[in-house]
């Protein structure tokens, strides 16, 4: 693993997210920054672009996905810069007409079930490759997540990794802990019998270690992250689920990230 490359890519993804949010006055910045290290790891270290699949179940963080696809060279500069403008395919939630986006998402809770179907299909047809699905901790309060987990835990296939971006914040409320304690959520996830691992979602060595051994069963990474990671005034501040930076805030954010 080239950790300095991954750090540089995560930093580039965060810069693109902040600049795009400011330019287009779009929301969901804090939850895009929290997942940037996980995205850098998946796209620049882990995933095989021809055989593996990725689904962003927490689709509101679309800018984090588009920034990653742009950094990886899967979408071009013109496409990326059209984000959130009239006529663009780069909507505020992932759209499967965009190169590199297999599934349109954003209606929360649907990603794990779609990922499970893809993984099972690959397994039945003897295709190689792993399906990765990133979801939010608040999203785990959706019932469909648990319907999917019941199916996933039946032992029909191994080739699936669910990654929970556990930033402890969610829309329309405050901390996820205040609604449903993360320790309780973790206990319920472990109760599925799947291979559940806790990691620091900003520590590349930990992420790498947690994904290096072969999948004996579907795996869940409970990745503890910081909402707004990388910009001091956004970190652990709920309002950055919705706000975009004004010019002064943008200047400070760029200064800190650069």
Q: Does 228 bind Mg ion (CB under 5 A)?
A: no
Pick between residue 159 and residue 225 the one whose CB is nearest to Mg ion. Answer: 225
Residue 39 CB, nearest distance to Mg ion (Å)? 15
Q: Are 40 and 9 in contact (CB under 8 A)?
A: yes
Pick between residue 57 and residue 167 the one whose CB is nearest to Mg ion. Answer: 167
Per-residue x/- marks for Mg ion, 107-136, CB under 5 A?
-----------------------------x
Classify residue 105 as exposed, middle or buried by CB count within 10 Å of its CB (0-12, 13-18, 19+): buried
Q: Are 11 and 68 in contact (CB under 8 A)?
A: no
Give the range of 19-27, 65-73, 98-106, 169-177 binding Mg ion by CB under 5 A: 169-177
Of 53, 167, 226, 244, the residue at the interface with Mg ion (CB under 5 A) is 167
Give the range of 75-83, 116-124, 137-145, 155-163 binding Mg ion by CB under 5 A: 137-145
Q: Which residue has the tokens 């290096």?
A: 212
Of 55, 137, 142, 157, the residue at the interface with Mg ion (CB under 5 A) is 137
Residue 181 CB, nearest distance to Mg ion (Å)? 14
DSSP secondary structure letters along 14-54: HHHHHHHHHHHT----HHHHTTHHHHHHIIIII--TTT-EE
Tokens matching residue 80: 């990326």
Pick between residue 3 and residue 174 the one whose CB is nearest to Mg ion. Answer: 174
Q: Does 27 bind Mg ion (CB under 5 A)?
A: no
CB atoms within 10 A of CB 252: 15
Q: Does 201 bind Mg ion (CB under 5 A)?
A: no
Q: Does 170 bind Mg ion (CB under 5 A)?
A: yes
Residues near Mg ion (CB under 5 A):
136-138, 167, 170
């Amino acid at each position: 693993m080239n950790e300095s490359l991954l750090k540089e890519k995560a930093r580039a993804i965060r810069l693109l997210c902040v600049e795009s949010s400011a330019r287009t006055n779009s929301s969901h910045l804090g939850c895009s920054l929290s997942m940037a290290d996980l995205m850098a790891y998946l796209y620049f270290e882990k995933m095989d672009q021809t055989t593996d699949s990725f689904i962003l179940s927490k689709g509101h963080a679309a800018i984090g996905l588009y920034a990653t696809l742009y950094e990886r060279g899967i979408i071009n500069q013109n496409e990326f810069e059209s984000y959130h403008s009239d006529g663009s395919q780069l909507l505020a939630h992932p759209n499967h007409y965009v190169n590199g986006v297999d599934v349109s998402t954003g209606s929360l809770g649907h990603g794990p079930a779609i990922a499970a179907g893809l993984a099972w299909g690959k397994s039945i047809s003897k295709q190689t490759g792993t399906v990765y699905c990133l979801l939010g901790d608040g999203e785990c309060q959706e019932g469909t997540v648990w319907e999917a987990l019941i199916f996933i835990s039946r032992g029909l296939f191994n080739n699936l990794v669910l990654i929970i971006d556990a930033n402890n914040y969610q829309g329309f409320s405050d901390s996820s802990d205040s609604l449903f304690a993360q320790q309780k959520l973790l206990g319920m996830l472990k109760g599925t019998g799947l291979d559940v691992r806790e990691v620091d979602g900003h520590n590349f060595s930990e992420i790498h270690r947690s994904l290096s051994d072969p999948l004996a069963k579907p795996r869940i990474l409970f990745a503890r992250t910081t909402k707004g990671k990388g910009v001091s005034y956004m970190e652990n501040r709920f309002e950055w689920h919705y706000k975009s930076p004004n010019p002064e805030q943008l200047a400070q954010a760029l200064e800190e990230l650069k």
